[in-house]
Amino acid sequence: MVLTLSACSDDGSGAGEGGDGGESSAVPTPTGPSRKGPAPAAVPSVRDWKPVRGPGWNPSRHTRVVADPEGPLADEGKLLARELNVPFTKGPARTADVELALDDGVGGGREAYELSSRKGQVKISASDHAGVFYGTRTLLQSVRAQGGVADGTVRDRPDRPQRGFMLDIARKHFSAEWIEDRIREMGDLKLNQLQLHISDDQAFRVESTSHPEVVSSPRLTKAQMRRIVKLAESRHIAVIPEIDSPGHLGAVLKAHPELQLKDESGQPTEGAIDISDPGAAKIVDDLLREYADLFPGKYWHLGGDEYLALAKEDPEESYPQLAEKAREEHGKKAGVQDLAAQWLNDRAETVRKEGKKPQVWNDGVHAGGEVKVHRDRQIAYWTGKEAGERDPVEYLKEGWKLINLNDEYLYYVLGQPNDFTYPTGRRIYEQWTPAVLRGTKPVPKSLSGPEHIPGGRFAVWCDRAGAQTPQQVADGIRMPLAATAQKLWNPGKPALSWEDFKKLAMRAS
């Protein structure tokens, strides 16, 4: 939750946005001892800090946030001013102020920033809005944790471009307000992706006009989802929707039993749609196209995991209709795996035409076969325990980009089924890095950089939805999420002990 800090005028009223903020008052001068102070107290920690001697900066009754209220940094300025409870106004900046500025000279990419504190004034600069926003998060957290910042210069940037949180809203309904609170928390932690798993066997949780019959209750309306996306965008977070297929479609199949996959004995296969039926592709593509405008971000997650037809020892014998369709479309040597690979190729083409870049779970990317998986997607690597499993190194050597969702560290599974245990922030903080994709051992250093592993996400799965309340989930993931954010921003050995990091995270939030 956002903590409102008191930096009001003497009568306690405080100045509003664009107010004079004490223009007629005497301009203050820095006071206090001249010394070199500690780095700003932030989670994730800043990567480079150069202190200088000086009194430092802390918010006072003279403080204003300074940027053009009609300019490109208006949103970042208004938010910080509201959080510090100070005026937001145009410049020039003076002593006690926080100035926000775009500066193409700040290197390190669009999310990098510089934060300079000198002579009682702070300036946050970046080449892009995102970097300025992250600089304001460092300042805000440091004010919460230690009252202000020492004099010096921060030069900070993330190690990985994709830093996220994945939430299963299909098995368990979370209110729009709950999700919005997590977005605010994510913004402060400099996380930039929220993946929403919106459909599964248990439910389909977002309003639909193309197929209202598949939608469950309770669900999120499109108006609520637009509000969620808008708040996320204000925190520089992209919302990534996931409609998982061709497995995990039980909620859709309840409304369309004619599309249910059945084996040779006529028994239904849980959650699996019959990918030999053209109607199966139509309904999924209808939903993908419908939501394209609702989720304007770059990425779309297509699922692809745990299609139970492929878990059979001989899927061609168990599902003769799939085998026949595979041979018909891809040649006499083709099998069910090829039909499943083509299914995801087709769904990827659907979202690509909508301007999206697809992502899929690793067990949806098959080796060998007659159908080659198109290279237009990134792989969310989570398990390496599935039928036909492949070591992450194989993918990396083939040139795939992997997003780390290692279930040994980053899976928070409600009710702990299947021998899962709740992850701890300490274990993530002390043992995990983006290079640890499967199990506990990292991939070779030559394959571990951001060009191979762009990032990762901490995932909440609601297998046993009643095992925890939403508040218990929020409390349970707080420190694991902070630890994940730390290791995606700076995967090196942490400077703080776990206990000190935990205390800092509590003070800074």
Instruction: List pLDDT tens digits, range 401-423.
Output: 999 999 999 999 999 998 889 99
Average confidence score pLDDT of the chain: 93
Q: Residue 112: what pLDDT?
A: 98
| Six-digit token string for 390 | 């492949």
CA-to-CA distance for 330 and 275, rounded, in angstroms? Answer: 14
* Cα–Cα distance for residue pair 50/38, rounded to 1 Å: 9
Homologous superfamily (CATH) of 162-508 is: Glycosidases (3.20.20.80)
Both tokens of residue 181? 């609170």
pTM over 0.85: yes
Mean pLDDT, residues 142-155 taken together: 97
Q: How confident is the model at residue 389 (pLDDT cuts 50, 70, 90)?
A: confident
Residues composing the chain: 509
Spatial separation of the C-alpha atoms in residues 373 and 313, rounded to whole Å: 22
Range list for CATH 3.20.20.80 in the chain:
162-508
Q: What pLDDT sits at residue 472?
A: 98
36 Cα distance to chain centroid: 36
With pLDDT > 90 as the criterion, what percentage of the chain qualifies?
A: 90
Average pLDDT over residues 120-132: 98
pLDDT for the residue numbered 386 = 82
Question: Where are the CATH 3.30.379.10 domain residues in the chain?
Answer: 49-156
Question: Where does the pLDDT of residue 385 fall: very low under 50, low under 70, confident under 90, or very high at 90 and above?
Answer: confident
Across the range 46-69, mean pLDDT stands at 96
3-30 per-position pLDDT tens digit:
333 333 333 333 344 444 334 445 566 6
What would the DSSP string read from start to end of 204-268?
B-B--SS-GGG--SS-B-HHHHHHHHHHHHHTT-EEEEEEEESSS-HHHHHH-GGGEEE-TTSPE
Q: Kindly indicate the confidence band of residue 49, based on its pLDDT and cuts at 50, 70 and 90.
A: very high
The strand pairing partners of 121, in sequence order, are 118
DSSP 414: T
In whole angstroms, what is the distance from residue 11 CA to residue 44 CA? 36
Using CA atoms, how far apart are residues 21 and 36, in angstroms rounded to an integer?
30
- Alpha-carbon gap, residue 477 to 482, rounded angstroms: 8
243 pLDDT higher than 80:
yes
Mean pLDDT on 182-201: 98
* CATH class label, 49-156: alpha beta
Rg (CA), the chain: 25
Please report, rounded to a whole number, the percentage of residues in the chain having pLDDT higher than 70.
Answer: 94
For the segment 446-456, the average pLDDT, to the nearest whole number, is 98
Q: How many helices (H) and strands (E) does the chain have?
A: 13, 18
